[in-house]
Amino acid sequence: MLFGQVDCPSGFHWDSIEGQCVAGRARPVFTTMRPDIVDVIPAPPPAPPTPIAPTIVRLPRQELRPERPGWKWWYWLLLAGGVGGTGALLYYGLKRKRPTSANLRGGRKRKLLLPRYSERKGWYGGSKNTLFVFTDKRTGSSVVRPVYDARGIGPAAAVRVATRAEAEKEWQSPLRAGWQTLGRRR
């Protein structure tokens, strides 16, 4: 009970403004003396939020996406890959077409294989259309022959590829004038 308030009969309430008991339900009143014992006036429902228009801030171009001077890193990566690939193609492409001194007809560079000796076939294999020097290990005498014309040369001969001078000398000799065409059947 507040100071100066009178107990009212049932159905009445004390109105502090009029200073008497008034019929009806009591209005919630906020007093500064004892706010904890007085009903608090409910707050009105919140108003719907006012829609706020989006604020568009236009930044300068360099702040949105700064332009870096010079080439990007992947430009250099692509350039290095292109240069390396072109160099590899040139190197391996020209490497296979370099002529060799042992092959008088030129053409692609290839490993000149030495012939082998078989009891059944004699001397066989070797590089096609290449002259070889067969040297007898016992006597030291040597002959220049293509491998398909090495009949009669035994297994005790050492074999090496003929030099350009040896091949040209044998090629120009009357006995070997047509040796290049003899081995087409192999």
Could you tell me if residue 59 is inside a domain? no
Could you tell me if residue 92 is inside a domain? no
pLDDT tens digits for 73-95?
778 888 899 999 998 888 887 77
Could you tell me if residue 63 is inside a domain? no
> What is the domain range of residue 156?
115-176
CA dist., res. 170 & res. 130, Å (int): 12
- List Cα–Cα distances, 85 to 77, 78, 81, 88, 91, in angstroms: 12, 10, 6, 5, 10
Instruction: List the structure tokens of 136.
Output: 């007898």
Could you tell me if residue 50 is inside a domain? no
Overall pTM > 0.75:
no
What pLDDT was estimated at residue 83?
Answer: 92
Can you spell out the DSSP letters for 36-54? GGSPPPPPPPPPPPPPPPP
Could you tell me if residue 100 is inside a domain? no
Q: Give how many domains the chain has, as a whole number.
A: 2
Could you tell me if residue 156 is inside a domain? yes
Could you tell me if residue 170 is inside a domain? yes
Could you tell me if residue 159 is inside a domain? yes
CB contact at 8 A, 102 and 161: yes
Lowest mean pLDDT among 35-39, 60-64, 71-75: 35-39
**Confidence label for 133 from pLDDT (cuts 50, 70 and 90):** very high
CA dist., res. 95 & res. 99, Å (int): 9
